[in-house]
Structure 1
Amino acid sequence: MKLAHLILAHSNPDQLKRLVDKLAHSDSRIYIHLDKKTEITPFLPIADNDRVSFISNRIKVYWGGYSIVQATINSFEEILATGIAFDHINLLSGQDYPIKSTDHIHQFLAENKGKIFMHSLSVKNEWQEAIPRIERYHLANLKLPAGTYRMEQMVNAILPKRKMPEGIVAMGRSQWFTASKESIAYIVDYVKKEQWVSRFFKMSWAADELIFQTILFNSPFKEHMVNDNLLYVDWSEGKASPKLLTMEDAAALKASDKLFARKFNSEADSAVLDYIDNFTA
């Protein structure tokens, strides 16, 4: 079972190196998209062997904009272009960390070949707070000067609500997922062929949490989707970002049946990563 890890990162080269080392396996390759706003030189030693490489077509990533979608798609294209017969492609952030051994992760995915592990909720029925992301015009991707929010208000007051194309069901939630290589190739090809996709989602807020689930749910791959992205995340603080995991979360991490967890900051608490390394050894 061959596995490609795609890591979207923007900071903390030491923590990224630790993640890369932890993911290392004879049947895996690791690809890193480093935000183009970040100077790459301190990160270059991470790719010290032929199993680790940086994505060449880097994008400047801005929170909430389509840029992170484009960065992900560019990265998928480069991974597919290698011609390596990967079974799954696993999308992680630089602040994620495996909470199972690499052998366990590879064995699990080998037993679930062809499956797509995504947190996928119906926007209409299960994730209604995301409806404005689709119905309203969001101009963040246009990089307009000051006054963008006021312009958005004016545009949305004048124009009718946006709608998905007829027959397309909007799905989404977490941007992180593990999917079969075939489904990733389908996504890349679909975005190229169906020009409405990029046009529509460039006007959506946080399109990275919507676009991939929506494409696959409305495709022949729907039957292979599992509503679980294999990621332990704690949203108990009720903030826009999940709780930073520390030694306070050690017991929950060890007890979890997930493969990965987020998010961590080794500068704030590296002991929890040491703890994970011990129980996943």
Structure 2
Amino acid sequence: MKLAHLILAHGQPEQLSRLIQSLQHPNADFYIHIDEKTDLTPFLKMRKNLNVFFIRKREKVFWGAYSIVQATLNGFEQIVASGIPYAYINLLSGQDYPLRPPGFIHDFLKENAGTQFMEFLSVDYEWHEALPRVKKYHLINYSFSGKYAVEKLLNAVLPNRKAPENLTFVGRSQWFTITLGAVRYILLYLREHPQVVRFFKMTWGADELIFQTILYNSAFKPAMRNENLRYIDWSEGNASPKTLTIADETALRNSGKLFARKFNSTTEPEIMDILDASFLKS
């Protein structure tokens, strides 16, 4: 079973290299998107691994903007264009790290072939804080003087936005593991429905909604499992999850997940060392 890890990164080349090495497997390839705002040079030494490919079409990625979606889509396009029959595409950030050895991960996905692993909470009934994202107008993808005043005016005078194509909105975490068939469907759907692209370009944090929503409103829905296989700690109540440390070792071991985020190999390398040691005993 071939697995493509699609990794979105913007810094810390040594940590990214460590992530790649931790997931090395005879049936794994790595597709790396480096934020176009970042100098690519420090990352190029990773090409010594024959199974590491850099996404050629790079995006300048901004938090909350559609550029994160586009970076992911660019990765999808290059993976599909490779012609390699991957069973799964696994979307990671450069600050993720596995909690189980690569052999276990490959076996798990082989045993669950066809399942789409992603979080998809209902925006209407479960994830209420996301309602303004899809109901209101957001100019996050535009840069001009007075942007926020214009955004405020639009939302004051215009009615709430309506879902294109009568889509039911679902989502939560942007990180997921889905089949190549699902990826092909997403690419085709967005090519055939430009109005959906336009809608999500005016949605804040579209990366946490668009992919789940497309699959949920398709024939892939029965194969979706509301589980993205990641341990993420939001207990600090910040816009970004907690950086994991050795204090989180027990929680990580007991999580039952395949991956976790986020880690920092510069400030908190010890927890990654502990995880590496546990791999050797698995």
TM-score range, shorter chain: over 0.9
Aligned equivalents of 1:221, 1:269: Cα separation in 2: 39
Residue in structure 2 matched with residue 211 of structure 1 by the alignment: 210
The alpha carbon displacement at 1:166 in A equals: 4.9
Residue in structure 1 matched with residue 194 of structure 2 by the alignment: 195
Q: Which amino acid aligns with 1:272?
A: I
Could you report, residue by residue, the CA deviation over 1:96-154 in whole angstroms, capped at 9, with x for unpaired residues? 00000101000000001111000110000000110000010000101223x32222111
Residue in structure 1 matched with residue 99 of structure 2 by the alignment: 99
What RMSD over aligned residues (CA atoms) do the two structures have, in Å? 0.8
Could you report, residue by residue, the CA deviation over 1:170-195 in whole angstroms, capped at 9, with x for unpaired residues? 01100000001000100011011111
Asked if 1 retains the 8 angstrom alpha-carbon contact of 2:164 and 2:199, the reply is no
Asked if 1 retains the 8 angstrom alpha-carbon contact of 2:4 and 2:31, the reply is yes
- TM-score of the aligned structures, taking structure 2 as reference length: 0.98
Task: Find the residue that maps to 2:141 and give its secondary structure.
Answer: helix
The answer on 1:253 being equivalent to 2:233 is no
Q: Which amino acid aligns with 1:181?
A: L
Residue in structure 2 matched with residue 185 of structure 1 by the alignment: 184
- Any residues of structure 2 matched to 1:152-171 within 5 Å, and which? 152-171=151-170
TM superposition outliers: structure 1 runs of 4+ over 6 Å: none
Residue in structure 2 matched with residue 72 of structure 1 by the alignment: 72
The answer on 1:116 being equivalent to 2:150 is no
Asked if 1 retains the 8 angstrom alpha-carbon contact of 2:164 and 2:196, the reply is no
Aligned equivalents of 1:197, 1:32: Cα separation in 2: 26
Aligned equivalents of 2:164, 2:15: Cα separation in 1: 42
Q: Which amino acid aligns with 1:77?
A: E
The answer on 1:12 being equivalent to 2:12 is yes
Asked if 2 retains the 8 angstrom alpha-carbon contact of 1:37 and 1:61, the reply is yes
Asked if 2 retains the 8 angstrom alpha-carbon contact of 1:3 and 1:28, the reply is yes
The alpha carbon displacement at 1:93 in A equals: 0.2
Aligned residue pairs total 280
Deviates more, 1:165-174 or 1:231-240: 165-174
The alpha carbon displacement at 1:246 in A equals: 0.5
Aligned equivalents of 1:192, 1:77: Cα separation in 2: 12
Unmatched 5+ residue regions in structure 2? none
Q: Which amino acid aligns with 2:175?
A: W
Aligned equivalents of 2:203, 2:171: Cα separation in 1: 12
Aligned equivalents of 1:241, 1:71: Cα separation in 2: 19
Could you report, residue by residue, the CA deviation over 1:190-220 in whole angstroms, capped at 9, with x for unpaired residues? 0111111110000000000000000000000
Unmatched 5+ residue regions in structure 1? none
Residue in structure 2 matched with residue 137 of structure 1 by the alignment: 137
Q: Which amino acid aligns with 2:228?
A: N
Task: Find the residue that maps to 1:280 and give its secondary structure.
Answer: helix
Deviates more, 1:251-260 or 1:103-112: 251-260
Task: Find the residue that maps to 2:64 and give its secondary structure.
Answer: coil
Q: Which amino acid aligns with 2:185?
A: Y
- TM-score of the aligned structures, taking structure 1 as reference length: 0.98
Could you report, residue by residue, the CA deviation over 1:203-260 in whole angstroms, capped at 9, with x for unpaired residues? 0000000000000000000011000000001111111111110011011112221000
The alpha carbon displacement at 1:167 in A equals: 3.0
Aligned equivalents of 1:166, 1:12: Cα separation in 2: 40
The answer on 1:44 being equivalent to 2:76 is no
